[in-house]
Amino acid sequence: MPQHVPPTLRAPESPEDSRAHVPPGASSPHPRRIVFLSRRDLGNPAAGGSELLVDQLAGGLTRAGHEVTLLCGGPAAYRDYRVVSAGGDLGHYLRARSAFTRQVGDCDLLVEVCNGMPYLAPLWHRGPTLCLVNHVHTELWGMRYPGPAARLGRRLEHWSLSGAQRGNLLVAVSPSTADALRAIGVPGDRIRVVHNGVDDPGPLEPRSEEPLFLAMGRLVEYKRIDLLLRLWERVRPVTGGRLVIVGDGPERGRLEQLAGPSVEFTGHISEAEKHRLLCASWLLLHPSAVEGWGLVVTEAATRGTPAIGFDVPGLRDSIEDGVTGVLARGESSFAASWCALSLSAERRTAMGKAAASRAADYRWANTVSQFRAVAAEAVAGGRS
């Protein structure tokens, strides 16, 4: 059922961020009624970075005076904004149009969050539409589905972004995502980059005296935690310590069977425990094959914790190689960097300070402000 919870927090500030590629348009009238069409609510057990981004945008827009609705699949929780469930996790894709008509009615701007499977909203919604893209799933289809299904999914995703969204603006969360959109035929003048933000972490907690390494995220194939576990067998004899893996997902059972000594799986944890671990960790390890941005990298950076990842889309945006962490070019490079940083407290400290300084530029208030400007531009373009 639709749920209303009155907003209780004040509107965020709206500082400028020179990193956002948002052209003039903020002076256009802002849309009052905004609907996000997304696969999951943040309260869904399978929620991840995309759901956190939508929640921050929806909450921030609500506090800024907009009437915001999230239309999603699966379970939905009470928020400061209205949340409507259109049915099951996958079945809601087929019911999204009818649920929009029956339970939402109308809006000034529909924001389609495209994470692989599209809603094709521009084909059935006549008002202004904006597409929010975390990352293009080109190579990821083959990791999850067999050949024919992967090819079909890939073609549908590419056509929806470059064809069905023709004439609309697309919001990319990083330059890497913007590059991927251009690579599949989306004109660059229709892409706007709005970075993810983070919360101010507040008072920091002590760093672990013993080596502590952290991996954090949903346990799915493309995060490649299995690769991390193999590398740990090479690194552990050099560094000692513990490897803590935070998160849950369909891969957890298999990964626990692969894990060697001194590996701990925590499952879901509280925000307080997450903060403690990010502060205590010596390094954040992020072996993902691709990311939109790599939000956990910035979350670690606010605690002065550098990251090691591969030189892949998204992570090459959130990690400044050699400054705030390391971008490895292969498995051996990843393991070598892991060992080298573990053995040099001076380098870890210097990178952690640089990471915290850079992360200060990324706050959710900036993200909401930039998104509002693009939303106004999308509505102005739709009306014209």
pLDDT band at 14, cuts 50/70/90?
Answer: very low
How far apart are alpha carbons 241 and 261 in whole angstroms?
10
Tell me the DSSP string of 326-354. Answer: EEESSHHHHHHHHHHHHT-HHHHHHHHHH
Question: Domains in the chain, start-ordered, CATH in brackets?
Answer: 33-197+363-383 (3.40.50.2000), 212-359 (3.40.50.2000)
Mean pLDDT score across all residues of the chain: 88
Name the residue with higher pLDDT: 200 or 324: 324
pLDDT given for residue 18 in this prediction: 31
Q: Which tens digits make up the pLDDT trace of 237-286? A: 999 999 999 999 999 999 999 999 999 999 999 999 999 999 999 999 99
What share of the chain in percent tops pLDDT 70?
Answer: 89
How many CB atoms are closer than 10 A to CB 383?
11
Partners of 35 in the β-ladder: 69, 110
Alpha helices of the chain — where are they, by DSSP H?
49-63, 92-99, 141-144, 147-159, 175-183, 225-239, 252-258, 271-280, 295-302, 315-318, 331-342, 345-359, 364-383
Q: Which tens digits make up the pLDDT trace of 82-136? A: 999 888 777 788 888 999 999 998 899 999 998 878 888 888 988 999 999 998 8
Partners of 72 in the β-ladder: 85
Phi (first) and psi of residue 382, to 5 degrees: -65, -40
- pTM score of the predicted model: 0.85
Name the residue with higher pLDDT: 339 or 15: 339
How far apart are alpha carbons 384 and 382 in whole angstroms?
5
Tell me the DSSP string of 125-192. Answer: --S-EEEEES---TTTHHHHS-HHHHHHHHHHHHHIIIIITTTSEEEESSHHHHHHHHHTT--GGGEE
For residue 302, what is the DSSP state?
Answer: H
pLDDT band at 12, cuts 50/70/90?
Answer: very low
pLDDT given for residue 30 in this prediction: 83
Q: What is the arithmetic mean of pLDDT over 74-88?
A: 87
